[in-house]
Amino acid sequence: MASTAVGERVEPRDPMPDGYRSTLIRQISQHAHSEIIGMQPEGSWLTRAPSLRRKAILMAKVQDEAGHGIYLYSAAETLGVDRSELTAKLIAGQQKYSSIFNYPTLSFADVGVIGWLVDGAAICNQVPLCRSSYGPYARAMIRVCKEESFHQRQGFELLLTMMRGTDAQRAMVQDAVDRWWWPTLMMFGPPDDQSPNTEQSMAWGIKRHTNDELRQRFVDMTVPQAEVLGVHLPDPDLAWNEGRGCYDFGAPDWSEFFAVIGGNGPCNAERLATRKAAHDDGAWVREAALAHARRIAGEDR
């Protein structure tokens, strides 16, 4: 299997090259870890949401992310790895998650901006994955994408409400946009000429578009939305290019991106420590669930 045609599906019991399997395990587990770690930046605002309505929306969103992580760990398990093994690797810092979740959430406007920009970028990345060549991954993505679209809308609606509020609220939104814009563009990964795995992943149908194509798509989708909101995107090079039929935009600071994925972002240590503490605190639940499952299995005999 040197390549797969669009529409061709590979299922768990089908023969597949070792490289295809290991690339999928890496990508799906990285994706699962991102969903789980991604609960932290917004989760920290659950106790401080400004109203019951905002708290209920945020709670639903954060719970969805837990669900996404669980679907994705299940998809990874169809490739012969174990969820507990993947979690151990995450906690040991041996597997990565999205760079974006290593930035702090400083105000409630960040909740809106994460929904609008970060979940918006996730949608651009994930919609094409609904046609990924690996069946369990593609099928998990269909439901995930429906939920991501709710996440994006709740973020946009929160920002629209704040932009119609006071000057202080508008300033909070602008400050959040200024902090999150560039890290969001980095979510698509390094430029194509510095992305060593892209070509093979595209040939295998694991990826359907390059990093730069998806980044362009995201910018083109987001600029008109920023105009509706009345926020300024912090890029002096952002301009409509009539000839190309899309927006020109500046390059993120890639040295920052490589520092963050290398473990030196503002919150990397905190995110991993929180995840490890949650895992340790949950040990008794896992033990109890296993004991219960064994007892039920025994009773069934």
Q: How many residues form the binding site for Fe ion (CB under 5 A)?
A: 6
24 vs 118, beta carbon nearer Fe ion = 118
Rule CB under 5 A: say whether 33 interacts with Fe ion.
no
Choices 75-83, 92-100, 117-125, 169-177 (CB under 5 A): range interacting with Fe ion: 117-125
**Gyration radius of the chain's alpha carbons:** 20
Rule CB under 5 A: say whether 209 interacts with Fe ion.
no
Rule CB under 5 A: say whether 42 interacts with Fe ion.
no
Other CB atoms within 10 A of residue 50 CB: 12
Rule CB under 5 A: say whether 151 interacts with Fe ion.
yes
The 3-state DSSP class for residue 67 equals helix
Rule CB under 5 A: say whether 215 interacts with Fe ion.
no
Closest C-alpha among 65, 69, 46, 73 to residue 151: 65
Q: Is the dihedral of CA 291, 297, 298, 300 positive or negative?
A: positive
4 vs 40, beta carbon nearer Fe ion = 40
Rule CB under 5 A: say whether 119 interacts with Fe ion.
yes
* Minimum CB distance to Fe ion, residue 115 (Å): 8
129 vs 260, beta carbon nearer Fe ion = 129
16 vs 28, beta carbon nearer Fe ion = 28
Pick out residues in 48-107 that bind Fe ion (CB under 5 A): 65, 68
Could you give the residue ranges of the DSSP H alpha helices within the chain? 18-37, 39-43, 52-77, 83-91, 108-113, 119-126, 135-163, 167-186, 198-203, 211-229, 254-259, 268-281, 283-300
Rule CB under 5 A: say whether 217 interacts with Fe ion.
no
Rule CB under 5 A: say whether 235 interacts with Fe ion.
no
Q: How far apart are CA 153 and CA 165, in angstroms?
A: 18
Q: What residue ranges bind Fe ion (CB under 5 A)?
A: 35, 65, 68, 119, 148, 151
